[in-house]
Structure 1
Amino acid sequence: MAQAYSMEGFEIRIDGHVLEMRTEGTRTSDMGRDPGRSFQSFMANSDIGGILFDVRGAQYEFTDFEWDERARLLARLCHHVPTAIVCRPDQTSQTTRIIEQIETRGGLALACRSRQAARVWLDAILTPNVKD
């Protein structure tokens, strides 16, 4: 059974063992409370093997300090599972901050330009190698 939750500006769903979160519209640091609580609830109550964030539809209005704070928060929540972030070219520097924080905590993370590339990467990690 698929699990999903959506509200204006974000959607969370479980696809297999991957938690997918899509964000869109103008986003400020104060807008992270409800999505953050929902995200943490899904993480705590679902069998999650990987995370896919699709932020291409979002326009973030964060200061540098707010980005660093958000990167540390996401790294604390995500470092234990492979995390793919689908972003636009102009979002690369913000995405890099998140990836660096995840990797600093010993996690795996990758920036992608498409959801398909992110899923291929996550599925390769999550699918056990079967030898003949």
Structure 2
Amino acid sequence: MKTLRFLTHQEIFDRATRHLFSQGHTGLPPRGEGACRGYCGGCPVGNFIAPRDHIPAMDGIPVLFVSASAPAAPSYMVVGIMALKRALLRSQINVYDPSTIELLGYLQNVHDVLDKREWRDSLASVARQFGLCADLLEHAA
């Protein structure tokens, strides 16, 4: 039996940070809902999802709905939530660890809610909260 290796919080943070600063802008489409992947570059969560695993129903789904302790989601989101959960697992993200989902939620909010000028400070705050190394932020654009 093959042992699964999940990405560490540090690996998730570093990859999401690199994605954000290489993208350089929020990825909200004209209608305003978040896009996991797309012409705008997508959010840090969508960056982990392989193109073959992405379906449009994932777009606009807060990653916190993937958590087992999440409040009941509206019925129209169920397909997107299940697909998002499956895609994240295929990307070596431990969707069963509440702290991993919390980290992804913060990273998603940095991208979707905050202005680009606030990203560095907000990401540094996320790194402190999760006990992560934020050295990457010093070299980010």
Q: Same fold (TM over 0.5)?
A: no
> Higher helix share goes to which structure?
2
* Greater RCO (Cα-Cα under 8 Å, separation 6 or more): 2
Q: Return the TM-score normalized by structure 1.
A: 0.31
> Higher strand share goes to which structure?
1
Q: Return the TM-score normalized by structure 2.
A: 0.29
